[in-house]
Amino acid sequence: MSDRIHTLSGYIHEYQRSVNDPEEFWARIADSFHWQKRWDKVVEWDFDKPDVKWFTNAKLNITENIFERHLYTLGDKPAIIWEPNDPNEENRIITYKELYQMTNQFANAMKSNGVGKGDRVIIYMPMIPEAAVAMLACARIGAVHSIVFAGFSSTALADRINDCTAKMVLTSDGNFRGAKSIPVKAVVDEALEKTTTVEKVIVYQRTKEEVTMKSGRDIWWHDAISDQPEEYKAEVMDTEDMLFVLYTSGSTGKPKGVVHTCGGYMVFTKYTFENVFQYSPGDIYWCTADVGWITGHSYIVYGPLLAGATTIMFEGVPTFPDAGRFWAIIDKYKVNQFYTAPTAIRALQAYGTEPIAPYKLDSLKVIGSVGEPINEEAWHWYHSHIGKGKCPVVDTWWQTETGGIMISPIAGVTPTKPSYATLPLPGVQPVIVDAEGKELKGNSVEGNLCIKYPWPGMIRTTYGDHDRCKQTYFSTFKGMYFTGDGAKRDEDGYYRILGRVDDVMNISGHRMGTAEVENAINEHPKVIESAVVGFPHDIKGQGIYAYVICDMEGRSEDNLIGEIRETVNKIIGPIAKPDKIQIVPGLPKTRSGKIMRRILRKIASKDTGNMGDISTLLNPEVVEAIIKNAK
Ligand code: WT7
């Protein structure tokens, strides 16, 4: 734990050092890991191509840094504490040694079923320890995992399977969420009708509901592991071999596969985990995310396990069986660090303080937030009612592409400020640039947030389409990584994230491209054209507002709206269902035919006082008509 920063002056010193000599800085952090072969060069980079390599030519396996490295000292310590959806079902406590054996056993099972180094494996599973075992087993044999959030539809799943030409799918029969049980295997079956590359499907029996098992293709998890040994010698990986692909939405219609590699991701997630949360040996840490998102990858599985921490995995939802569930779990396990999303905080805030009253919450030392800007009101509620005024709130800004936390307070070490992510972590060099890409130096500035120097956890490419990576992140502003976020640096030098500046929405902390939702809406046969924008939503942060031009012949508006919503549900999944759908006679367009989203955003947020100059539009009259019928 020698890399942990303990004091403000320590932070200032480390930060300076990381900027003055990044190679010396990261080499020192990386030194504490187990490498099978040391690197020749700490970093090699060219943001124009882009081509970024960390710890060139080093060899390692990330799972050796979780298991072999910890087994002697931490073998009997809980690695994962699993809390089931139903509080009356028994929990599971899995030690490092047990997790190691489960991982090896499953690694052998995958190997026997034809998966090897470099093959892609889709994980479409509920929040059970086997999801972590699946990830770690892939890493152990050098297969590339790609987790698809189990709430995505069969179409979305098929698209991802096809994009990365996956050979295997790991899934479950069903998934318990709150009072419901959701079929999972059936969704996989449907997806596989639209794909050709998957040879084997391994199914974990969770809900015991009936499923069809296709002979020769589908195998039960318990059968797959039954005769497998609990040892597996980790594959030797190059530092820049792919560790995983994770699909995320962007401003174009098709989600892209963000690629992370072994060495840099390992160093960055452990370092940021230990520092931001100030994890001490023996602490119980809980992140409420799902493994289907990057937060689950970096801060439920890899970061905490690399640090030898005890990480809680929760299968359920915050409001089942009641709105006190989170607080009950915190007391049950005496959680020390708690990490959740603003949308969950706001949703629970709406229940008042009554559900909190039965609980002490006195084990908490640090509380964290991630996924979207946390508004001041939610920050204060979280700080006083959950943190009891004594726990620092770490508002952590980062992205799927950054691999780990970039801008955040270091708990108890650097200052916090409501609604501010505050200061960059050591090794992270953010800049704010204007529309032309000119760096705005000094304090009290506002503009586009970029990063001007590489960091070990950063995206390397977008799967199968390197040019897309270049266009999306490295072309808007030359020589810099562009985050897509707007930010301000205040008079004290603290960063405040202002939200996306591109056509990407943030719905309950989940990223969703407007074009992706539009494409789904347009699949409905009666839809002629659509435009989607985000609007402020009390709980979700942003909601989805869809303006749709339809062929109304013989159809009622209500039916059509219901069908469009269902179309989106089918093509993407419930998280993309529009909150509001308005059938419109036309969409405001410029003379060159570009949809004026600025106007649609104003209408969606009920801010129609000053629409600006609309006289230059191709069809100014539709604006009035849309405002009149706005939802
Ligand atoms: C986008 C990334 C990072 C894991 C979860 C989301 C927004 C994230 C914050 C924060 C303000 C935030 C940004 C970013 N975002 N954290 N603390 N304050 N905004 O990952 O799906 O890749 O989304 O989420 O807009 O670009 P993601």
Q: Please count the CA atoms within 13 angstroms of the CA of 288 that sit on its side-chain side.
A: 25
Instruction: Tell me the pLDDT tens digit for each residue of 601-616.
Output: 999 999 988 888 888 8
Neighbours of 21 (CB within 10 A): 13
Confidence of residue 593 (pLDDT cuts 50, 70, 90): confident
Identify the CA nearest to 288 among candidates 348, 245, 232, 359.
Answer: 348
- CATH superfamily, region 8-233+240-317+396-470: ANL, N-terminal domain (3.40.50.12780)
**Centre of ligand 1 from the C-alpha of residue 208, in Å:** 36
pLDDT band at 259 (very low <50, low <70, confident <90, very high): very high
Q: How many helices (H) and strands (E) does the chain have?
A: 19, 30
* Nearest Cα to Cα of residue 160 among 130, 198, 129: 198
* Per-residue pLDDT at 18: 98
Q: How far is the CA of 68 from the centre of ligand 1 (A)?
A: 33
Arithmetic mean of pLDDT, 49-58: 98
Q: Is the pLDDT of residue 625 over 70?
A: yes
pLDDT at 409: 98
Per-residue pLDDT of 70-89, as tens digits, reads 888 999 999 999 999 999 99
Q: Residue 282, class by beta-carbon neighbours within 10 Å (0-12 exposed, 13-18 middle, 19+ buried)?
A: exposed
What tens digit of pLDDT does each residue of 512-564 get?
A: 999 999 999 999 999 999 999 999 999 999 999 999 999 998 889 999 999 99
Give residue 16's pLDDT: 98
Write out pLDDT tens, residues 315-358: 999 999 999 999 999 999 999 999 999 999 999 999 999 999 99
Could you identify the atom of ligand 1 that is nearest to the CA of residue 289?
Answer: 5
The pLDDT of residue 254 is 87
Q: How far apart are CA 36 and CA 38, in angstroms?
A: 7
Arithmetic mean of pLDDT, 407-427: 98
**What integer pLDDT is reported at residue 406 of this predicted model?**
98
Q: How far apart, in whole angstroms, are the C-alpha atoms of residue 395 and residue 379?
A: 9
Instruction: Give pLDDT tens digits for 422-437.
Output: 999 999 999 999 999 9
- Residue 215, C-beta contacts closer than 8 angstroms, at least 6 positions apart: none
According to the model, what pLDDT value does residue 236 have? Answer: 98
Res 1 pLDDT > 60:
no
Output the CATH code of domain 504-629.
Answer: 3.30.300.30
Residue bearing the CA closest to ligand 1, atom 7: 372
| Structure confidence at residue 2 as a pLDDT band (50, 70, 90) | low
Calculate the average pLDDT of the chain: 96
pLDDT tens track for 125-170: 999 999 999 999 999 999 999 999 999 999 999 999 999 999 999 9
Distances (CA, A) of 168 to 111, 161, 189, 200: 11, 9, 13, 5
* Both structure tokens of 553: 């012949």
pTM of the model: 0.96
Q: Mean per-residue pLDDT for 9-31? A: 98
List pocket residues of ligand 1, CB cut-off 6 Å.
248, 293-295, 370-373, 395-400, 421, 483-485, 497, 499-500, 506, 509, 511
Q: Given the CA of residue 500, which atom of ligand 1 is nearest to it?
A: 25
pLDDT score, position 592 = 85
Instruction: Cis check for the bond before 50: say yes or no (omega within 30 of 0).
Output: yes
Atom of ligand 1 nearest to the CA of 295: 4
How do the domains of the chain map onto residue ranges? 8-233+240-317+396-470, 504-629
Query: DSSP readout, 428-484?
Result: --EEEE-TT--B--SSSEEEEEEE-S--TTS--EETT-HHHHIIIIISSSTTSEEEE
Which residue of 407, 450, 485, 498 sits with most ligand 1 atoms within 8 Å of its CB, as the best mutation to test the pocket? 485
Compute, in angstroms, the gap from residue 417 CA to the centroid of ligand 1: 18
Q: How far is CA 572 from CA 148, 185, 195, 528, 575, in A?
A: 12, 17, 17, 19, 8
Ligand 1 probe mutation, 370, 476, 482, 495, most atoms within 8 A of CB: 370
